[in-house]
Amino acid sequence: STIDSNTATGGAGGGGAIPGSAGSGSGGGIYNDGSSLPATATITSSTISNNTATLNGGGIFNIGTGANATLTLTNSTITGNSANNNGGGIYNDSASGTTTLTSVTVTNNTADKDDAGGGAGGGINVLIGLATFTLKNTIVAGNFRGTAVPIADDITGTVIPASSYNLIGTGGSGGLIDVTIDMVHNNQVGVADAKLGTLADNGGPTKTHALLDLSPGLEKGNKFSLTTDQRGFPRPVDFDLTPPTPPYDDADIGAFERQIAPSAPATPDLQAGSDSGTSQTDNITKTTPRVFDIGSVTTGATVDLMRGTNPLGGGEVVAGTGVASSSSISLSDTAVLADGDYYYRARQTLGSDTSPLSPVPGLKVTIDTTAPPTAAPDLQPGSDSGVNNDDRTNATPRLFDITGTENGALVELLRGGTPVASTTSSGGTVALSDGVALADGPYSYTTRQTDIAGNAATSSALIVTIDTTAPATPGAPDLQSGSDSFGAGTSGTNSDNITKTTPRLFDIAFTAEAGSTIELLRNGTPVTGASASGAISPVTLTDPDTPADNTYAYRARQTDAAGNSALSPVLNVTIDTTDTPAVPDLQPGSDSGASNSDNITNATSLLFDIVNTENGATVELYRGVNLVTSTTGTGGTVTLTDSTVLLDGPYLYTTKQTDIAGNVATSSALTVTIDKTAATPGTPDLQAASDTGASNSDNRTGNAPHSFDIAGTESGNLVELLRNGAPVASTTAGGTSVTLIDSASLADATYAYTARQTDVAGNVASSASALNVTIDTTAPSVLSSVRVEPNPTNLQTVHFTVTFSEAVTGVDITDFTTTMGGGLSGASVTGVAPVDSSHYTVTVDTGTGDGTVRLNVINDNSIMDAMLLSLSSSFTSGEVYTVSKSDPFVVSVTRVEANPTNLASVHFTVNFSKPVTGVDNTDFALTNTGTIAGASVTGVIGSNATYTVTVNTGSGSGTIRLDVVDDDTILDSGNRPLGGTGAGNGNFTTGEFYTIDKTAPTVTINQAVGQTDPVTGPTASTIINFTAIFSEPVTGFTASGVTISGTANATVANVSEIAPNDGTHFNVGIEGMTQSGTVIADIPAGAAHDSAGNLNT
C-alpha cells in the first residue's frame, strides 16, 4: 500500500485512523490507538510518504498509554513525512507492547517542522514505558529537525540494544554502537551519507529509495528470513558477484534489495501477423500497428520497444512499453509511419537499473504503403502471328512482356480478370505466358502487381484477338500449256509437266478472303515476286527463275491476316534443259589383265556401263560409225553389250542419247584394245653373287637377298618370281629379260623357284620348270641366362640355366665367365651339365664378400650348330644373383641443419653399411640433456643405405642426439638383421647431436661510463655514448637496430663492439643533434640474434 500526503490537524487521525477515535493532531499517515483497548498494526511492503501532523507522528503515531499498542513494519518505506512537534517519521508512546521494524527505510522525515523549537526525533521518537522498540536490517538516516536550518535528527530515545544489522545516520543512534566496537550486532552508526536514491518507481507496486553505487547498506545486512524486498524482488541478491563476508548474507539494509543489472534484451522480432506481403519473415510491411516479440527479458522488468532511423544507433524513441511476466514479451508500435527504413531495439529496466539497448543495428523494418505502378501487358512479336503489332494472333502459348516491375513483387497476368500466370520479379521487365488454347475471339489481358509489402495495383487492359481458323485450301498450281515444252519425235507432251521453258506460268484457283495473300512456292520456298494480295480467283503467278535441271514441287499457299495458312496439293514439274550423254565405260569384268581400267582386254563379250542416262531417253552404243545396240534410259546407269568376236587391235566406242524433251548429243570416244595372245617366261636363274655355297652355281646359299635372272619377257608384262608357288617379287618388264630379288630371310630349307608372266590383257604363262635353292643362314645364339635358386642368396654355390636358340655342341667351362659387383670377389664357374642339346646348367661358386654375380657366355667359336655355324655373339645380359654374406651396421648419424638451432623440427641423416629395409620411427630413440621436454621422432624417409629422420625438438633448451635401436626389424637384401641376429647388437649411440637454444637474448642500454650529463659542446658534432649489453653473444646488431628519440633531435647512431669483444658489449654513439635537449637511445626487439637465430627481446 501507499499512504501519501495526508494531514492530521485537530481532528481525527490520518489515513490509518480507526473510525470513531478522537482526533489529536497526531498520526498524519497512520494512528494506532491502544490508549483504552489493545491495538495491533501490521504494515508490509508499503510506502508511507509526505504525510503531516500538526502535533506528533507525521508518518505513524503509535500510542498505548492504557493498554498494549503493537506495531510491526516489514519491507516498508517511511519518507518525506513531517510533524510540528515530535517524530517526523514515527512517534512511539506505548506503555507496553512491541514495535518491530524489519528491512524498513526511514529517511527524509522532519520533526519540529514549524521551527517552534519544541520537537525532536526527525526519523523516530521513542517514548518507552514497558514496551520494546526493535530495529532489524533497517535504515534510519537522512532525517532532520527544523526546516529553516535543518539539523540531522534520526532517532530520539532508545531502541532495544539487541537491534542488529542497521544503518543509522549522524542524528542520534538510539543507543546502538557501531560495528567497529560492537561486532556482535553489526550496526553501522554515524553514517553521514547512506547514498539513497530519490523516492521513485523502482519496480513493484510502491515507490522506494534505491541503494546507489557505493552505498554502505549494500550487502551489509541480514535477510531475517525474508525472501523478497518491498517491491517483491528477490532478497538477498549477490550484487557484486563475490561470496558474502560472514556474518553478512549478501542482503542489503533497508526496504530495497539491489538487483543484478539486467542484460540487453534480444533484438525485437516482428510477428508474422504484422509482416504483410508475400513473405512474413522479410520485415517489409504496410501494417499498423506492428507487434514485436522480445526475448531474453527478466520477469518483472519494464521493457521498452525503441524505434530509430539510424542503423548505427542514436535518437531512438520509445515506441511501446510493458512489464515482463516471463522471459519474453510482446509490444506494439501503434504509430502511423511514413514509408522508409526503421531500426527497432529494446531495453529493460529492473528496479533502478536499466540495461543497454539490444545490439545495433537492431531489427530493420521497412514500411511500404505505396502500391507499385503497373504497366499493361505487351504481346511479344513472336506471339503476334500474321501482321506484327496488331494483337491478332493464332499463337499458343502467348508470351507477354510486363515492364517496370518492382524487385521481389508478385507479377500476375490476368485474362478477363482471372490469373493465368505469375512470377516473382527481379526488377525491370518480366515475361509471362498464357498457355491455354482459346476459342477464336477477343480477350482482355491485364497485369496485377503485388509488392513485397502486400500493396497491389492492376493495369489497364490489352485486347488480344484469337484467330486460329485457316483459310480454305487453294487448288494445286496448273502449268500452262505454253510453258510445258516437249521434244519432237519423243513421248513428251505439253501436259506432262516436263519442260525446259523459262519463265513458267501457273494458274491457281482459290477462295478469296479479305486481307489474305496467295503465294507460289517451289520446293516449299516462296518464288520471288510470285504472290498477290486481295486477288480474285483464279490468279496467274509466274516463276521467272531458271533453276538447275531437277524435279520441283510447286504449291500455292494462302495466308490470312492472323497468319493462318493453307497449302494446296503439290504439282511436280521437271525442268530439263540439258542432254549430256556419258562416255561408255568398259566394265571391270570385261577389262582383263593386271588393270581392270586400262581398256586392254582379251574378253569376247564386252559390257559397257553408261551412267546418268535420262529417264525415257533413247541410249545407243556405237563402235566407230556402226550402231552396236540401244536401250531406253532409266534415269541412272544402263548396260549395253558388244558380243561381236573381234580381232586383236584398238576400237572406238561412243554413246548417243535423245531425251524426251528432244535434246540430242553424242559422247566422246573410249578406245578399247583387244589382246588374246600369252608369252611363256624362262626358268629363274640364281645369280653367281647370290650363290654363296660351295659353288657359285650349285644353288646352295646362306645370304639374302637372292637375285634371279628371268628371260623370255615382253615389255609391259607383269613378271613374278614364285617361291614354292607363292609370289615373292614382281616387276613390269621393260624388255626381253628381268632380274627379281627374294629379300626374305628364310629358315634353313630347300625352296622351288618358278617364274610367271601376265600380259596387259591378262593372258598368263608360267616357266616350263622350277629352280631348287637350299638356304642355310642362321648362326646359333644365347637366348637367356636365368637363376635357378631364389634371389637374393647367401649360398656358396648357385646355378644358372643357359638357353640357346637351337641345338649346339662344344659347350664347356671355358665358354663362361663371371662378372662381380659390390664387395664380392673370387666367384668362378665350377661346372657345366647339359639339360638337352639347347639347355645347359652352369654351376658357380659365389666366392667371398657381399655383392652381385652374373654369368657371361663367351664366343670363342667353339660352340657350333649342326651347320657348323659358330655362336653369333657373346652374351652378357643374363640375370644377376645378389649375394649377401655380412651383417649390415650403422655407419654414421649426422645433422642436416646448422648447429646450434632453435628450430621446432630438425633432421638427421642415418647411413648404413649397405642397403636395408624395415626402417621406421620405432627404430630410433632420443638422448636429451638440459631442459628439453617433449622431443620425439616424427618421421623417417629414405631408401637403400641412406635415410632421413625428422625430430620434433619439443620445448626447452639442451642437446638432442638420435640413437639407432636394433630390434632385428632392419634387414638387408639377404634378410640379415642389423648387427646380426639378436636385438641390441646393432645399436648406434655415438652420432652427432644438436644443441637446442630457444632462449631469446635480452639487452639493456645505459649511459656509458664516463659520459658526462649534461653535455656541452656543438650540437652537430658532439657524440653521446651509450653502452648496450646483451645477455649472450649476438650478431647482426647495427645502427639500424637503434631507435633515437628526445628533444635534441639526434639523427645518427654509430655501433661498435667493445671489451670483452665476445659479442655481448657494444658502444652506441649518438650524434647529429640540431638543438639542446634530451637524447634517448632504445634497442627494439629483433635488433640482433644469437647463434641459434633467436631475436632479442
C-alpha cell at 978: 642389423
Q: Mind giving me the DSSP string for 1033-1050?
A: --B---GGG-EEESTT--
More confidently predicted of 324 and 67: 324
What is the pLDDT confidence band of residue 936, given thresholds at 50, 70 and 90? very high
Residue with cell 490520518: 14
C-alpha cell at 741: 630379288
In this structure, what are the phi and psi dihedrals at residue 13, rounded to the nearest 5 degrees? -65, 180
- Segment 132-159 mean pLDDT: 96
- Mean pLDDT is lowest, of 198-212, 252-266, 483-497, 699-713, for 483-497
Polymer length in residues for the chain: 1097
- Segment 271-295 mean pLDDT: 93
Residue with cell 661358386: 845
What is the pLDDT confidence band of residue 400, given thresholds at 50, 70 and 90? very high
In the chain, how long is the greatest CA-to-CA distance? 180
- Mean pLDDT is lowest, of 196-205, 418-427, 484-493, 658-667, for 484-493
Q: Which residues of 581-612 are buried (b: 16+ CB within 10 A; e: fewer)?
A: bbebbbeeebbbbbeeeebbbbbeebbbebee
Q: Looking at the domain 685-775, which fold is it?
A: Immunoglobulin-like (2.60.40)
- Segment 25-49 mean pLDDT: 91
Q: What is the pLDDT of residues 244-258, one digit of tens each?
A: 989 999 999 999 999
C-alpha cell at 369: 504503403
CA of 30: how far to CAs of 84, 658, 888, in Å? 16, 146, 110
Q: Classify residue 904 as exposed, middle or buried by CB count within 10 Å of its CB (0-12, 13-18, 19+).
A: exposed
Give me the CATH code for the 269-367 domain, please.
2.60.40
Distance separating alpha carbons of residues 881 and 860, to the nearest angstrom: 25
Which helix (H) or strand (E) is 107 found in, with range? strand 98-107
Residue 243 contacts by C-beta under 8 Å, 6 or more apart in sequence? none
Q: Looking at the domain 585-674, which fold is it?
A: Immunoglobulin-like (2.60.40)
C-alpha cell at 286: 504496410
- Segment 737-750 mean pLDDT: 90
- Segment 513-517 mean pLDDT: 82
C-alpha cell at 827: 666367384
C-alpha cell at 494: 505439253
Distance separating alpha carbons of residues 685 and 506, to the nearest angstrom: 83
Within 10 Å of residue 1069's Cβ, how many Cβ atoms? 17
Q: Are the C-beta atoms of residues 108 and 137 closer than 8 Å to each other?
A: no
To the question of pTM greater than 0.85 for the whole model, the response is no
Determine whether domain 378-466 maps to CATH 3.60.20.10: no
Bridge-based pairing of strands 167-168 and 139-140 is parallel
Residue 499 contacts by C-beta under 8 Å, 6 or more apart in sequence? 479, 483, 484, 485, 486, 573, 574, 575, 576, 661
C-alpha cell at 349: 529496466
- Segment 734-760 mean pLDDT: 91
Give me the CATH code for the 478-575 domain, please.
2.60.40.10
DSSP state of 922: G
**DSSP three-state, residue 492:** coil
Distance separating alpha carbons of residues 433 and 447, to the nearest angstrom: 12
Cis peptide before 247 (omega within 30 of 0): yes
Q: Are the C-beta atoms of residues 54 and 24 closer than 8 Å to each other?
A: no
Residue 16 confidence (pLDDT):
38
Q: Give me the long-range contacts of 481-489 (CB less than 8 A, separation at least 24).
A: 485/661, 486/660, 486/661, 486/662, 487/658, 487/659, 487/660, 487/661, 487/662, 487/663, 488/662, 489/658, 489/662
Residue 499 confidence (pLDDT):
87
Q: What is the mean pLDDT of the chain?
A: 91
Determine whether domain 782-883 maps to CATH 2.40.128.20: no
Bridge-based pairing of strands 2-4 and 47-49 is parallel
Residue 866 confidence (pLDDT):
60
DSSP state of 212: P
User: Nearest Cα to 97, choosing from 38, 174, 157, 172?
Assistant: 38
Q: Measured in whole angstroms, how far is the alpha carbon of residue 380 from the centre of its chain?
A: 40
What is the pLDDT confidence band of residue 766, given thresholds at 50, 70 and 90? very high
Residue with cell 637474448: 1001
User: Nearest Cα to 621, choosing from 585, 578, 588?
Assistant: 585
pLDDT at 699 > cutoff 90: no
- Whole-number percent of the chain with pLDDT over 90: 74
pLDDT at 10 > cutoff 80: no
Determine whether domain 890-996 maps to CATH 1.10.287: no
- Segment 170-186 mean pLDDT: 94
Q: Where are the beta strands (DSSP E) in 108-149?
A: 110-111, 124-128, 132-136, 139-140, 144-145
Q: What is the pLDDT of residues 71-82, one digit of tens each?
A: 999 999 999 999
